[in-house]
Structure 1
Amino acid sequence: MPDESPPSAADNAPIALAAAPEPAVATTRKNKVRIIVSIDPDLLAALDSLARYKGLSRAGTISLACADLIDRGRRQCHG
């Protein structure tokens, strides 16, 4: 039986983002930018565990987490 509680993420784990070079062949997905991410191994394990729990891909989980972080930041800035 799978664990019913979502995994906890590591706090203050270092994350570095960089734009990856554009692929030589156009992809079928529109409006997406490929990036390279360096992430703490423990945070990555927690991310992968959460993705499995939610039935999402790693990339989908990262995208949703980023969207949520940005949304919360906007709400804090704009009341």
Structure 2
Amino acid sequence: MTRLYILPLMAAFLILQPNLAAAYVGPGLGAGVLAAVLGVFAAIAMAVVALVWYPVKKLLRKRSAPVARAEQGQ
């Protein structure tokens, strides 16, 4: 019974162990990652603004259309 608990714990422990990486993270890579992250956030923000602005713009056009038609008729 205890073996059922020990094996998953040992597997999780081995998977979560940090491995040594012989890699250089220079300023170019850091700037690229930062630009990618900011690009994703900007795209999400623009999508939200577009989804909110379109109905508002449509509502404003509906309100101003009767006023404009009434002024043209006079």
User: Is the strand fraction higher in 1 or 2?
Assistant: 1
TM over 0.5: no
Structure number, greater radius of gyration:
2
TM-score (norm 1): 0.30
Structure number with the higher helix fraction is 2
Larger relative CO (CA 8 A, sep 6+): 1 or 2?
1
